[in-house]
Amino acid sequence: PLRAELASQRERDLTTFHTALGELAASDFEARFRDLIINGRHRIDHKVAGRKLSWFAPREVGRRLRRVLKRIRAVSGEFDVHGLHEVRIANKQLRYAMETFASIYDRRFQRALDAVVELHSRLGDVHDLDVLIERLDQWTAEHGPTEDLTAQREALRTRRAKAYARAERWLTREGARSFGHTVMDTLD
């Protein structure tokens, strides 16, 4: 029953995702964005904003980085599921901004982006396990515990602890400071 429920949810999510991708593909967003990059529009003043992309990029990346660092400072520990998820969401927004502006920076920026992507991946692993454990707990509460489910839950908790350990270096005070410098030092 739990696997069937998860499979059903996955199918609904995939349908929603493919619909959104189809709508995006049907628009000319990708072609317009590619033209902006290829034609070097980042060097030209924007008609509305009156600023160059090279002026806007560090401010936008910096704003999103500050949000990530603020969320990291707010995490109250390994089992702060909501706090870790908030860091993941803020980091995803930072990642997308950096990916958007990557064409106007050098390899150092790409290395910083790689660190952002890695943090996003590590937090994603933790979040996926948190969701799975929560769903398993809900199912167990509705249907009653079994020896197999208890063993599965413990195995998931062990995997989650390992996943958190891989993300933890960014979540310490020193790790967050280093992460912030890694990103900001590439924007000059």
Q: What is the pTM of this model?
A: 0.72
Please, what's the b/e burial string for 27-64 (b: 16 or more CB within 10 A of its CB; e: otherwise)? eeeeeeeeeeeeeeebeeeeeeeeeebeeebbebbbeb
**Sign of CA pseudo-dihedral 7, 10, 15, 16:** positive
Residues 108 and 178 in one domain: yes
Residues 17 and 59 in one domain: no
Residues 116 and 94 in one domain: yes
Domains held by the chain: number: 2
Residues 131 and 57 in one domain: yes
What whole-number distance in Å separates Cα of residue 24 and Cα of residue 46? 23
In a domain, residue 45? The reply is: no
pLDDT in tens, the chain (188 residues): 788 888 888 888 888 888 877 777 777 777 776 666 666 555 555 555 566 777 788 999 999 999 999 999 999 999 999 999 999 999 999 999 999 888 888 889 999 999 999 999 999 999 999 999 999 999 999 999 899 999 999 999 999 999 999 999 999 999 999 999 999 999 87
